[in-house]
Amino acid sequence: MEDALKTKLTGLGLSEEQIGKLEAEGVKAEADMLMLSAAEVKAVTGCGLVVSKQVVAAFKPEAEVADPSAEIGEDGKPTQAQINGLAGELGVDSNLVTMMMLGNAAGGAGMDMDLSGMVPISGIVSGYNPKVRNMFLMMMGQFERRLGVPLVVINDDGSVNKPLTVEYIEGLEEGREAAENNIYFDETGQPYEVIKVGVDAQSVYDADPLKPTKALQKNGMGTGRINWKGVPLEVRQVAFYAANQTGEIDPANDAHLTWLRDHVKKDARRLVFHGQAPRAISEYNEAYRTGSLPMLRVMLSRGPRRKETMPRRRKAGLGQGLPAE
Do residue 233 and residue 143 come from a single domain? no
The whole-model pTM stands at: 0.50
Type of residue numbered 202: Q
Closest listed residue to residue 22, CA positions, set 292, 196, 10, 304: 10
Do residue 270 and residue 184 come from a single domain? no
Do residue 153 and residue 214 come from a single domain? no
Give the end of a domain, one of 135, 170, 197.
197
Distance CA 59, CA 52 (A): 11
Q: How many CB atoms lie within 10 A of CB 125?
A: 26
User: Does residue 309 sit within a domain?
Assistant: no
Are the C-beta atoms of 141 and 133 separated by less than 8 Å?
Answer: no
Tens of pLDDT, residue by residue, the chain (325 residues): 888 888 888 888 888 889 888 888 888 888 888 888 888 888 888 888 888 888 888 877 665 555 666 666 555 666 666 677 666 666 666 666 666 665 544 334 444 445 555 667 888 898 898 887 777 888 888 889 888 999 999 998 889 999 999 999 999 988 899 999 999 999 999 999 999 998 888 878 899 999 998 989 989 999 999 999 999 999 999 999 999 999 999 999 999 999 999 999 999 999 999 999 999 999 999 999 999 999 998 877 765 555 555 555 544 444 444 444 3
> How many domains are there within the chain?
3
User: Does residue 180 sit within a domain?
Assistant: yes
Give the residue numbers spanning the domain of 190. Answer: 80-197
Distance CA 147, CA 10 (A): 54
User: Does residue 245 sit within a domain?
Assistant: yes
Are the C-beta atoms of 13 and 47 separated by less than 8 Å?
Answer: yes
Q: How many CB atoms lie within 10 A of CB 301?
A: 12
